[in-house]
Copies of this chain bind each other. A is one copy, B any other.
């Protein structure tokens, strides 16, 4: 049921939900998370995502299977883009299906927390003449800890 893609192309959220549901009528809750390129200061030109082909897919699959073992999901989907993106562009999509909303929400948060700390992606921001690698956030490591009980 877990399905992951690492791709340069954009995705369509409605289409991804529809493919994942696939006409099923026993689903009660659909949660999506979309991460987008955020330009806080109004100076970001582009963001380039580098990744580790092979390991990226393996990590996303491992995390998805872990989520499906922890929660009664009826399906999950993870799409992560790489390459050069512009402010407002989609970066990542997580979709979870479950009978109940709490399982769908928790699994989507878990997927994002693990993806943020374990999926081998690195962001480089281009601002004016300057290109700089984005620093890892300690809060992402903290976010992981709540799943370790």
| A residues apposed to B, CB below 8 Å | 12-15, 17, 21, 23-40, 44, 87-88, 99, 101-102, 104-105, 108-109, 112, 143
A112 proximity list for chain B (CB < 8 A): 101, 105
Q: Which of B24, B27, B29, B108 contacts A105 (CB 8 A)?
A: B108
> In the complex, what residues of B have CB within 8 A of residue A26's CB?
38-40
Report the 7 A-B pairs with minimum CB-CB distance, sorted nearest first.
Answer: A25-B87, A28-B38, A14-B14, A30-B34, A25-B88, A25-B39, A32-B32
Are A28 and B36 within 8 A (Cβ)?
yes
Q: Is the CB of B105 within 8 A of A33?
A: yes
Whether B33 and A30, one on each chain, are in contact in the complex, defined by CB atoms closer than 8 angstroms, is yes
Question: With A13-B14, A13-B17, A105-B108 given, is the CB distance from A35 to B29 under 8 Å?
Answer: yes
**Besides A25-B38, A29-B33, A38-B99, 12 other A-B contacts (C-beta < 8 A):** A13-B14, A21-B88, A23-B88, A25-B37, A25-B44, A25-B87, A26-B39, A29-B35, A32-B32, A40-B99, A102-B109, A102-B143
Whole-angstrom distance from the CB of A75 to the nearest CB of chain B? Answer: 13
Please give me the residue from chain B that is nearest to A44 by CB atom.
Answer: B25
User: What residues on B are CB-neighbors of A23 within 8 Å?
Assistant: 88
Which of chain B's residues have a CB closer than 8 A to the CB of A32?
13, 30-32, 34
A109→B103 CA distance, assembly (Å): 11
Nearest CB to that of A95 among chain B residues?
B32
